[in-house]
A and B are shown apart, each in its own frame.
Chain A
Amino acid sequence: MVQLLVNGTSRNIDVDPDTPVLWAVREQLGLVGTKFGCGASLCGACTVHLDGQPIRSCVTPLSEAEGKEITTIEGIKNPDGTLHAVQEAWIKHQVPQCGYCQSGQIMSAVALLKETPDPTDADIDSAMAGNVCRCGMYTRIKAAIKTAAKEA
């Protein structure tokens, strides 16, 4: 039994502690907004926050997450239920196409802005380079991050 704190709620999961956080979150907790992309920390689709830091959940075992706060795409709305400034900016710039990578992109962007509220192009390049978007919406992602930085 592994005890987890996910999006502010304590959850007990009966799985092998070696199981990656990704699969526990998706299959045991039904939080399927976090996506499987590569299984090898190469694409960023599975990005969640562990104590506020972006991690690749496909290679992070549950044992490493015990006692820490996990935040997924389902948990980043504002306390009043409105969208996070990054999500709003994503809509404003019409960022997603297929949308499959966007949970991971948004989680990386939220973490970036928390650390660096007014990021330069280089900051964005460096923070977001781990997130692949096969639809190639990089121009829009960059613009949306800048918009979110302004409005946050």
Chain B
Amino acid sequence: MSTLSRPEKKVAKKSAKKEKRANESRGAKWTRRSFIGAGAVAGLAASGALVLGIAIRPGDRTDALAGYVTEGDEQLLTTWVKIAPDNTVTAIIPHSEMGQGIHTALSAMLAEEMEADWDAMEIMEAPAEKDFANFELGREFLLGGKHIPAILFDTVNGAMLTAAKGMNLQITGGSTSVRFTGTGAMLTAGAAAKEILLTAAAKQWDVPVSELRAQKSYIYHDASNQSAPFASFAEVAATIKPNLRPALKARSEYKLIGQSLPRVDIPSKVDGTATFGMDVQVEGMKYATVMAAPVHGQTVAKLGALDAKKMSGVIDVYNMDTYVAVVAEGYWQAKQALDMLDVTWTQGETDNVNQAAIFAQYADALDTGESKTLHKAGSVSKANASAASVYEAEYRVPYLAHSCMEPLNATAWVRDGKCDLWTGTQNPLGTRMVTAETLGIDAANVTVHNQFLGGGFGRRASTDYTDQAAQVAAKAGVPVKLIWSREESTQQDQYRPSVLGRFKAALDDEGMPLSWESKFVHKLDPPEASHIFYDIPNQSMQVVDSPTHVRLGPWRSVDHTQHGFFTESFIDELAANANMDGYQFRRKLLKNKPRYLKVLDTAAKMAGWGKALPVGQAQGISITDSFMTIVAEVVTVDVSSGEAIVTHVACAADAGMAVNPDGFKAQMESGIIYGLTAALYGEITIEDGAVEQSNFHDYQMVRMDNAPVIDVEIISSDARIGGAGEPGTPPISPAVTNAIFKATGKRIRNLPVMNTDLGAAS
């Protein structure tokens, strides 16, 4: 094993316990098993040590798993929980922490049902093993008749994951962690664990189980005044077959869920001790940086590296075909040398592609291409025939980069047919599989050590950067930390698709829509992103393929970013066309949808919708439903300077319930700023086949001095728990452009806002 200053990421909630080889994933043969149903058994560890285990899946692998996540006398209680002899309960979380607070939220869900002592609980990120795959996520998509989310694309050598490969799911994305892993697995695991412990205690004390209660990791028999820690029942509990469907609490009984518990990852993020992929230290490590073909798909034609190789600290320069790499004693030396390389790239047809040509191609595809119907209701042609008038609009949105604060990086050490890989990834298991394929070794010989992610937003679900690290390290024969420059991170992203969309509505004589038609290019995920919840009887949504050489990927809220803008702009246009207030117009079309109405009304009330505002200021409203969470936002914009300044955002959100209300609010704030950056400034453009933007000077961000005040109100309903990480993003851009329309009369149909001249300052 390598010597590391912080060998593995492990979030110790209380004290720093001895280092555990937490994220190890070593050789073991896993048998394929079906996703159907859930199974649970108790068992013994291979070592002979007593293990009490249940796994919420058939074909239990508890004894095998115990070797990966336990040491000494600790007992693996379920796939997601273990108990140490000192009664410390550890939640094992199969999701990456990228700031969404998931380690805290999911372990609180487990503790809630288990009655574990939150203050003495520890949290550990699951190793990249199939048994920690997001079982519920997989089942939701594979068995629920739904399709696979875009965030899972490209995880297996560019092939879309199929149901057959569905075992490789261990993904953080799609706002799924709490929705599926939390409600599906953590609550059940916690309740099942509590049940077998209570049953064991009843046996041991020879009392009826109904007389027992669990509280803060202890079991009590009040009648005989007995109590004992969970750990003392492990041996008996190991003989009990756990219940597959334990009784779960009603929401009204929750003690931890619904509390704003402080995030466990935060203290390490204020004193500089949190270890991100960028911070991993491996003894003997060298540094590498790379430049890939600026035009995606091209390769190195000629590499002139003589001057670079002579530079101080430079170890070697590699021609890796689709990219060049410099390995040096330090990153800065590697980067200086990279800039000295004389690289000639192959040429091809895509060298002439520019952004205008891409949009022209999209328009041509919409005019003449074969379309696929995504959704249909009633008859739009009959509606058009009977309409008093027809309203049409065309919108377009640009490519967007993810711009995670932490530039992409990975550290790899390839030796003796084995690979250790340290990185921050949303997809540890996929990374493990792809790394094995890249190196031509068995996946059992690849160990992924996942670290904190300095931003993910979908970008860190892919394996291009980890693949490069593995390849370069294999060539260098020493541990190599491969770091992309900010420029590389911007120009070699997998972009939020640029999209052209056309919308059409047949209107009655009052201007109310009888139909809704949309036709657009590109479809990633989720399937329902272009659907509408407004009460309009005749609908037709169609997509046309129009591929380019530009790489695409999931970007915070995926297709909802484009369709939130399209839908909520078009509905606002219809309102204006009908001479109606945008809020009232939406209310009219949502009159049979009380959950939506409540969210819309709450945001309007928060912002004082309709109140008198100074000259140059106006409000805009929007509402979207994504990842099972309904969010309405009211933006106040000030255009008096000639530039659109968003001064305030009122946000109302209904996610069923918020597991951690403060964390949920933070996610809304974050989603709003992320979407606002895109709305105001976000634009990646293609010129001569390559991305034009490179760093924060030409790919601008919302900063402190132009960040709005944000108020968030959480609405609790009876609905299933929805997502938090993404749903705040889709409503913001249309809310901004709707406000600008009200302030200036200018309807912005092409983002970003900065490309539209709003006129002279008033």
Contact = CB atoms under 8 A, between A and B. Distances in A.
Interface of A: 15-16, 19-20, 23, 27-28, 30-40, 42-43, 45, 72-74, 77, 83, 87, 90-91, 94-103, 106, 124-126, 128-142
A37 B407 contact: yes
A60 to B, nearest CB: 12
Contact of B452 (A27, A94, A98, A130): A98
| The 9 nearest A-B residue pairs measured at CB | A33-B272, A136-B673, A97-B99, A100-B454, A99-B269, A98-B99, A73-B272, A138-B707, A125-B705
A57 to B, nearest CB: 11
Contact of A38 (B276, B672, B695): B695
Contacts of A96: 99, 265-266, 269-270
A77 B271 contact: yes
Contacts of A102: 269-270
Interface residues of B, number: 66
Contacts of A125: 704-705
Interface stretch (B327-335, B411-419, B752-760): B327-335
B578 interface: no
Contacts of A35: 276, 278, 405-406, 454
B709 A100 contact: no
A140 B266 CA distance: 13
Interface stretch (B39-47, B610-618, B662-670): B662-670
B705 A126 contact: yes
B321 interface: no
B696 A42 contact: yes
Contacts of A28: 330
A-side interface mostly = loop
B608 interface: no
B606 interface: no
With most chain B CB atoms within 10 A of its CB, the pick from A15, A124, A129, A135 is: A135
Interface in B705-736: 705, 707, 709-710
A74 B270 contact: no
B703 A132 contact: yes
Contacts of B704: 124-125, 128-129, 131, 138, 141-142
Contacts of B697: 40, 42
A30 to B, nearest CB: 7
Given A73-B271, A128-B704, A136-B673, A97 B278 contact: no
A14 to B, nearest CB: 11
Nearest to B486: A38
Contacts of A30: 5, 281
B450 interface: no
A73 B274 CA distance: 12
Interface in B248-303: 262-263, 265-276, 278-279, 281, 287
B276 to A, nearest CB: 6
Given A72-B272, A77-B271, A91-B270, A36 B453 contact: no
B270 A97 contact: no
B2 interface: no
Nearest to A23: B332
A70 to B, nearest CB: 14
B163 interface: no
B379 interface: no
Contacts of B666: 94, 97, 137, 140
A26 B146 CA distance: 46
Interface string B441-476: 000000000001111110000000000000000000
B270 A139 contact: no
Contacts of A31: 272
A126 to B, nearest CB: 7
A73 B278 CA distance: 16
Greatest chain A CB density within 10 A among B272, B483, B663, B671 is at B272
Contacts of B269: 96, 99, 102
Contacts of A45: 405
A136 B701 CA distance: 10
Nearest to B100: A97
Contacts of A132: 405, 696, 701, 703
A15 B268 CA distance: 30
Given A39-B335, A129-B704, A91 B272 contact: no
A42 to B, nearest CB: 4
B483 A97 contact: no
B590 interface: no
Contact of A99 (B274, B676, B710): B274
19 contacts: A19-B330, A19-B332, A31-B272, A35-B278, A36-B483, A45-B405, A72-B272, A73-B272, A94-B262, A94-B263, A106-B270, A128-B705, A131-B704, A132-B405, A132-B696, A133-B673, A136-B671, A136-B672, A137-B666
A132 B677 CA distance: 11
B404 interface: yes
A114 B287 CA distance: 37
